[in-house]
Amino acid sequence: MEEKKKVLYSAVQPTNNLTIGNYVGAIRNWVQLQSEYDCYYAIANMHAITVKQEPALLRQRTLELLALYIACGVDPEQCVLYVQSQVPCHAELAWVLNTITYVGEMERMTQFKDKSARHAENINMGLMDYPVLMAADILLYQADVVPVGLDQRQHLEITRDIAVRFNNRYSPTFTVPEGIYRKVGAKICDLQDPTKKMSKSGEDPNGAIFMGDDKDTILRKCKRAVTDSETEVRYDPDTKPGVSNLLSIYSVMTGKTMDESVREFAGKGYGDFKLAVGEAVADVLIPIQQEQKRLLADKAYLNGVLNRGAEAAFRTARKTLSKVYRKVGFYQGDK
């Protein structure tokens, strides 16, 4: 008999436009892992509304994100692609997990502190509860592995704590998931402030390359990227964060190792280097954009993928939820 594959879970929020940080830190890895694991890839729209969203835009971005997943090479025949809000078990499990999660733990989360500072007028319960919903996402599918960027490590650690806590309090129920963090590209930094992560909701649009940027924009942003007063292209994130960030981007976009990339620019100036980085990014992004556009013209196909995805996700999620309800003592009729 064929051995059962391990389960992989990941998601991205349909907020703002995605950056190459999201691509490199998340979606690109998903493609590489999809044949090895049983994969669930969600569009985390319930997480998205923890900060203010324009409803029509949120709806539109949901479909755009699905098309982007597929355009990047995620195969809907091989993976379960679905929208989080279409599977009610997420909210239901999150409620139960809330009762074994402490307020103090949530207040300590770096992302909560960051987002509270950035959205001081809207520090809502959802923003604080975000990691619990994320734990529910992952635990519902009994995921073994979760590939994410380094910024999500703290959320993954709390997911593991919550899983262990539930298993100890009741009885073994959840698989305790491991994070997968790639070394190169786990944190793509802002082009204008290379000490910060490149983020889709950053303040300076020149700091981020968006998945939808045209070639001229990509080249311009790379050209303007902050470097240093030296002239040597060398990988040293501590003393040369800007150059090292561009080197990471170049290396992941071309598939070359860091050593190869550094050697290629030996003796070359920053101007040539930045141009080459821009070209490498455009070479990857332009075909993805064309494919995304083609897919978006076929709504029936995309809706079909989502309907199938939601059904498949629900089948798995419901089993876990029903186990949880039994363990905590929720009356479930004669089931």
Q: Catalogue the active-site residues.
A: 115, 197, 200
Q: Which residue in the set 152, 251, 292, 320 belongs to the binding site for ligand LTN (CB under 6 A)?
A: 152
Min dist CB 220 to ligand LTN, Å, is 28
Q: Which residue in the set 44, 66, 280, 281 belongs to the binding site for ligand LTN (CB under 6 A)?
A: 44
Min dist CB 80 to ligand LTN, Å, is 13
Nearer of residues 152 and 175 to ligand ATP, judged by Cβ: 152
Token representation of residue 255: 């598939």
Which does residue 134 bind out of ligand ATP, ligand LTN, none, counting CB within 5 to 8 angstroms by kind? ligand LTN
CA–CA gap between residue 269 and residue 191 (Å, rounded)? 18
CA–CA gap between residue 149 and residue 152 (Å, rounded)? 6
CA–CA gap between residue 284 and residue 289 (Å, rounded)? 9
Indicate whether 251 belongs to the interface with ligand ATP (CB under 6 A).
Answer: no
Helix axes 299-328, 125-140, angle to 10 degrees: 90
| Binding region for ligand LTN (CB under 6 A) out of 3-11, 56-64, 192-200, 224-232 | 3-11
Nearer of residues 73 and 308 to ligand ATP, judged by Cβ: 73
CA–CA gap between residue 97 and residue 91 (Å, rounded)? 10
Kindly provide the b/e burial profile for residues 119-129, where b requires at least 16 CB atoms within 10 angstroms of the residue's own CB. eeeeeeeebbb
CA–CA gap between residue 24 and residue 11 (Å, rounded)? 14
Q: Which helix (H) or strand (E) holds 9?
A: strand 7-12
Binding to ligand LTN by CB under 6 A, coded x per residue (else -) over 100-139, reads ----------------------------------x--xx-
Residues of this chain that interact with ligand ATP (CB under 6 A) are 12-13, 15-16, 19, 21-22, 24-26, 148-149, 151-152, 186-188, 197-201
